Structures are given as structure tokens and as C-alpha cells.
Amino acid sequence: MESKKFRLCKLFCAGLILIGAILSAPVQTSAFSDQVIQHGATGDDVVELQARLQYAGYYNKTIDGVFGWSTYWALRNFQYEFGMEIDGVAGQQAKDKLASITKFDKAFVMRQIQEGNTFTYYGGTPQENQVKKRGNGGNGGGGNAKAPNTSAVNVPNGYSQNDIKLMANAVHGEARGEPYVGQVAVAAVILNRVEDASFPNTISGVIFEPRAFTAVADGQIWLTPDETAEQAVLDAINGWDPSGGAIYYFNPNTATSPWIWGRPQIKTIGEHIFCM
Amino acid sequence: MYKWVIIGVLALALTGTAFWGYNERQEKNDIKMQAENNYQRSFHELTYRIDMLHDKIGSTLAMNSRDSLSPQLAEIWRLSSEAHTDVGQLPLALLPFEKTEKFLTNIGDFTYKTAVRDLDKEPLSEEEMQRLEKLHDNAGQIKDELRNVQNTVLGDNLHWTDVELALTDDNPDHSDNTIISSFKTVEDTSGGFSDEKDFNNGALPASNEEHKFEGVTGERINQKQAKTVAAKAFDLNTISGIKGGKSGKGSDVPLYSLSYQKEGESGYADISQKGGHILTLMMQRDREEPKLGLHDAQQKAQDFLEEQKLTEMEMVQSSQYDSVGIFFFVPVQNDVRIYADIVQVKVALDNGDILGYNARDYFMNHHERDLQKPKLTEEQATEKLNQNVKVQETHLALIENDTHEETLVYEIMGTRNDDETYRIYVNADTGKEEEIEKQTTTEARFLQST
């Protein structure tokens, strides 16, 4: 009797675990957060959105975790096919529909992104046939504490991450002791010069114009910029100009040229006077 | 015995040092010579190109057939652009040379516009011919001056690296340096004609004049009132920590520039003296992991705009950069997006605070526009597009075209090969494609760790 009861109990327990596993599995796969996902978003939800759209055959670009134009058009096509409002925004209705008709193996997709592999996620094709491993370069963020959860980033239209980095180098070299706005203003001056008729027409042309920036002349431009400089550059590229349209600035404590003092001054930010 | 050993060692050390010193010097000279040669190349190319420029404008004027005019003008445009690049490679910064550079930009803009124009339909006007004539004279004067400098540089074996040294030393008087004083003469020559009135109305709008800041209206406010406005935007209870003052005479609109700083946090605001409008707002602090989606953040941005009394705004672009969301808004008048009045808002995604706001363009350009009905329908406009472009979305918009006039256009979002996305502006009256921009707003992350 004792043993039979025990066996029954065991069976019951095993059943419970099985049911639990069945119940918890779908919860894990429909992992969209309650975020309404729109153009420009980045992160896990976007990865899932792209993967599910690809699974259903609407999205054929890289699953990179950045909601760009391709994702936008794919989502709109999907909304059109299923008779939803076509707004290119993944709200509850679109997410529910996607979750019900597609599968999403989060662990698999995330692993591919973190390992930097080239992969696709179409439904009906075995997963292992859709992955091309990244070559053993060995420098793929191996020592990084936190692997990125997206394989792409947003950039302002027409700028590469490298353009931003180069400007951040210049801003860091020129104004690293300055307040944040002071750094944005220096970045804005570089951009104002690109637009100005009396300066070169490219960012690198302006930065490397001989004798234009002291930090370039004495090599401080090659110091590693901090994140603040990069954020300041991004703000300037996105339109902020606290310098008020300036094309020159100088430090009144060190400026020797009488000519620079003759320029109409706009304002002082930190140690720098900005002028036309 | 010891003595000789020490003498031997010292002698060896001395020869070693001498050898090392000689090598160092040699290397330094090599590098200096490289820099010098780079400068020399730019300088001689500049003189050559200005010479060519002068000749080409001359032959354009002498040309009878208007068919071959366009290639000639394109050639002048290329030469002026290259000459401009040469100037940018000479160590002239801080030496006023901007008038000559402006002159080159003016030639470039003028010839570009006439080169791309259909000269059969719209030949060069009498006025434009006169302008070209004048440009020819001016280029001739600059050419003569530069050839003079070149002769001195070659004859006296002058070095550009010396110019660089002369410009960096503390003595503000450089009249003893021949290159510097000759370039000043060139600049004075250019200055004479770039001040002429007709020089500003065609090619480049004098940018300060067109910025009227018509959107800035209301009563003049004092500094204390401005600080109150700033305190509200900074989310502070008191104005005591806010510092700052009035803008100088170089500012295109009179402002109060106000800032505050406390541990791990800073804020900055530009507030118009007239009406107390916030033109620029920037906040900086450390941020945590994002908790807010872009969609919710957009609502915060919209609420903020309404607080600033900016209504009828449409969100046209949103982007997430780690823990901030940046939104572009434009005003909409009669269903037309007014791109000149663009406003940017930056929202923290950890708690939804407004981190930045930029309404400089809005207040610079905003006014009630007299918008005409488009002559073409949406269908007529899209028919004129390339067959490979698949139209996805269409809006009416007001943009500045390449001659800096506000133009009513259809803004068409299209894809090519289902792959690349393009933003195409088609003139709503003539059907001309005013501008096409490829949309590249995402880029693969570079994998090497820094």
C-alpha cells in the first residue's frame, strides 16, 4: 500500500511538472513587453518583432534589434495583410497577432546576436541551416563585461559611427574640461563651419584644417574620448546649437590674436567665448 | 689602468649620444620637410587652379555656342571647389582669408546653378553675363597676386612651416613674414569685391539677414523673469542656483543664457529676451537602464511642446540612442509639414524627463505662411518618379530647395528593390524632383571592442 501510494504521488508530481512546463513554455515565447514599438526603437522587443516578422515571411533583412525603415515597411505590410490599421507602429493588436502565428526562440536569436553571427529566422527551415558563424577573429568583444543585445545602432541620417567618433575626438581634445553644453557648442561650431562658405565643406576638412584647432595641432585629439563627448556630438548633429550659430570660439585667458577679439561675440559658455 | 677604462667608456658613450642625436635630428628634419612639401603642394596647386579658373571663365565669356557652355561652367565649378580644398590645407587659420574663400564658394554656387540649368530653355541672362564678367576680373586680380606670392616663395626659397611658426608665436605683428603679408594683400583684393551688393543676392543668401526670428513675439522680460522660466524647465524650486546673463552683440537674437550645476547634474537654457521663449534647453545627468518605450516618451515630448505653446506639431522622426529618445517635430499648416520650423526634443528613457529641447529653427523661421493649393495631384506627382521606386507614403511638405526658396512639395517615401528607402521631394506645381535623400538611419555595430 505504502509503495503504491508513493508511486501515485510520484506520478502526480511528474504530471504537475509536465503541465507546469507546458504552461510556462508559451509564456516564455510571447515575451513582448507591453511597450508599443515604433520606428527608431532599439532593444529586445525590436529583436523579437523582427524575428517574428521574418518567421512569417514579411521581413528579410538582418535581425539587428534596431527598428529602421525596413522593419517599418515590413510591419506595415503585415498590418495590411491582416486588415489592421496601417500605421507602422507595433501596438497590442499587432503584437498579439504576431505572437499567435509565429514562434520565437529567444535564447537562439539572442545567442546569434551576441556571438555576432550572420543568421536568419524564417519559419519552416531548421535553425541550424540559417546560421553562418562569425570567423574566429577572437576580438569580438570577448572581454566585454556586457555583450550588446542589438547588432546595430541608430545613427543620424548620413552620418556613420566613425564620423561621430572623429568629432568626439576633436570635442574631447578641445573641451574636455568644459561643461556639457560647452562641448555641444564646440561640436556645433564644427558643423557650422562645414556649412559656412569660408571653411572646408567636410567634417574632416574642418577638423584637420591646419592651425584651426589647438587640440589637433598638439595631438590631444588622439586622446580616447569619453562618452560625454560622444553624446555632445550626437546632440549637435541632431540639431542643438547652444553656440548660437558661432563659427569661432576662443579661450580669453590664452588667446593671443587681436583679430579673434575683434569678432562679434555671441556668448560665453564655460571658459570659451563663442563668436561669429 | 682604471683611468683608461673610464675614458674609453665615456668616449663610447659620447659617440653613441652623438650618433643618436644626429639620427633624431635627421628624423625631425624629414618630418618637417614632409609637412613643408604638403603645404607647398597645396599652395602651388591653389595658384595653378586660380589661374585655370580665370582662363576658363574667360573662355566661357568668349564662347559663342551656348551648347558647350554647360560643360565649361561645370569645369569652373570643379576648379573652384578644388581651389577651396587647397586653401583648407594651408596653415592660414587665424589669418583672415575668409573673403577669398567666400569668393570661391560664390563662383562655385553660381556656376553650379547655371551648369545644371537647361540653358536651351533658359539661357544666361544679361545680368548673369555681367556677373560672370565681374567674376572674371576678380579672379584675374587674385591670380596676379597669387602668382606674385608664388614668385617670391620660389625666388627667396620661403617656407610655409615658418609661416606656421610666425602665426603661433605671441607677436601679433607678422609684417616681416613675406607670405603672410602677401596673403593679406590677396585678402584685401578679394575683400574689395565680395562687399559689393550684387555679390550677396544671387549665390548665397547672407544667412544672418534671412533669420528674422519672426516667431519671437511678446513683451521684453527681465533677467529674473527669465530665471523663473528656466527654473521651471530645469525642474527646480528656486532660481538661486541659476547663473548667466545676456548674449553679446554677435547673437542673431537677444538671449538670456542661463545655467545651473549641482552634483552629477547640469542644465542650460537660452531664453529670448523678448517674450521669454525657450530656444534651447539642455540637461545632462547620469541615466539608468531605459524603462520607458519610445512611444510613451513621445507623449512626454508632445506634452512638453504644448506647455511651450507649440501646437499643431507632428512627430516626423524618432530614434533611440541607448537611454534617450530623440524626436523631431514639425508644425503642420493646412496638412503641409513645414520643415524649416523643425523642433527637436530629447527625452530620458529611464524616467521620462525632458533632457533637451531645441526650437531655434522654429523661432527663427516660424510665421503664418500663405500656402497655395498644389497644382499637381498626388497621383500626378508620383507618376513622375523612377519606375523602380515603389511609393510607400506621401505627405505634402514645405522645404527649402537648393536656391533657398521655400517650395511646396510632395514628400514621398519610397523603396527601391524592396531594399533601400528614399525620401523624395517632388515639386507640387512643376513635378520636378527637388531633392532625393537616401535614408540611412541605422548602421551595423562595429564589433571590435575599444
Inform me whether the pLDDT recorded for B396 exceeds 80: yes
Q: Is the pLDDT of residue B201 over 60?
A: no
B416 pLDDT above the threshold of 70: yes
The mean predicted confidence, pLDDT, of chain B is: 84
Residue A12: pLDDT band with limits 50, 70, 90: low
Contact A179 B261 (CB under 8 A): yes
Our CA-based measurement puts residue A9 at a distance from the nearest CA of chain B, in whole angstroms, of: 44
User: What pLDDT, on the 0 to 100 scale, is given for residue B232?
Assistant: 87
Q: Output the pLDDT for position B48.
A: 92
A262: nearest CA partner in chain B: B250
Average pLDDT, chain A: 82
Mean pLDDT of B221-227: 86
Q: Give the class (CATH, top level) of A27-132.
A: mainly alpha
Across the range A254-268, mean pLDDT stands at 82
Average pLDDT over residues A129-155: 64
Q: Considering CB atoms only, which of B251, B296, B356 is closest to A235?
A: B356
Q: Does A108 touch chain B (CB under 8 A)?
A: no
Please tell me the distance from the alpha carbon of residue B293 to that of residue B443, in angstroms, as a whole number.
Answer: 21
Chain B neighbours among A 66-95 (CB < 8 Å)? 66, 68-70, 73, 76, 89
Question: Under CATH, to which class is A161-275 assigned?
Answer: mainly alpha
Res B441 pLDDT > 80: no
> With an 8 Å Cβ cutoff, is A276 touching chain B?
yes
Whole-number pLDDT of residue A135: 59
* Interface contact B99-A198, CB threshold 8 A: yes
Q: Chain B: nearest CA to A159, how far in angstroms?
A: 8
Q: Which of A154, A179, A241 sits opposite B320 (nearest CB)?
A: A154
Residue A138: what pLDDT?
41
Q: Which residues of B touch A231 (CB under 8 A)?
A: 284
- Nearest chain A residue to B174 by CA distance is A257
Inform me whether the C-beta atom of residue A194 falls under 8 Å from chain B C-beta atoms.
Answer: no
A44-56 per-position pLDDT tens digit: 889 899 989 998 8
State the SS3 of chain A.
Answer: CHHHHHHHHHHHHHHHHHHHHHHHHHHHHCCCCCCCECCCCECHHHHHHHHHHHHCCCCCCCCCCECCHHHHHHHHHHHHHCCCCCCCCECHHHHHHHHHHCCCCHHHHHHHHHHCCEECCCCCCCHHHHEECCCCCCCCCCCCCCCCCCCEEECCCCCCHHHHHHHHHHHHHHHCCCCHHHHHHHHHHHHHHHHCCCCCCCHHHHHCCCCCCHHHHCCHHHCCCCHHHHHHHHHHHCCCCCCCCCCEEECCCCCCCHHHHCCCEEEEECCEEEEC
The structural domains of chain A, with segments of one domain joined by +, span: 27-132, 161-275
pLDDT in tens, B283-327: 988 888 888 889 999 999 999 999 888 888 999 999 999 889 999
* DSSP structure string for B25-57: HHHHHHHHHHHHHHHHHHHHHHHHHHHHHHHHH
Domains, chain B? 2-204 (no CATH), 223-365 (3.30.310), 378-438 (3.10.450)
Nearest CA in chain A to B361: A239
Q: Span B201-216, mean pLDDT?
A: 52
Q: Do A276 and B282 touch (CB under 8 A)?
A: no
- Amino acid B330: pLDDT: 92
User: For residue A33, which residues of chain B lie inside 8 Å, CB to CB?
Assistant: 293
- Model pLDDT, residue A24: 45
Q: What percent of chain B has pLDDT over 90?
A: 22
Determine the average pLDDT of the residues in A25-44: 74
- Whether A27-132 and A161-275 share one fold: the answer is no
* Separation between Cα atoms, residue B25 and residue B17, nearest integer Å: 12
Tell me the range of B65-69, B358-362, B380-384 where mean pLDDT is highest.
B358-362
**Binary contact (B94, A211; C-beta < 8 A):** yes
**Identity of the residue in B91, B101, B421 whose CB atom sits nearest the CB atom of A197:** B101
pLDDT score for A140: 43
Q: Which residue of B has its CA nearest to A270?
A: B259
Is the model's pLDDT at B210 over the cut of 60? Answer: no
Tens digits of residue pLDDT in A203-237: 998 999 887 888 888 888 999 988 899 999 999 99
The predicted pLDDT at position B364 comes to 87
Q: Provide, rounded to the nearest whole percent, the portion of chain B with pLDDT above 70.
A: 91
Distance from CA of A1 to the nearest CA of B (A): 56
Note the pLDDT tens digit of each residue in A91-100: 888 888 888 8
Which chain A residues contact residue B97 at CB under 8 A?
A: 198
Option in A37, A240, A276 nearest B344 (CB): A240
Closest-CA distance of chain A to residue B269, Å = 8
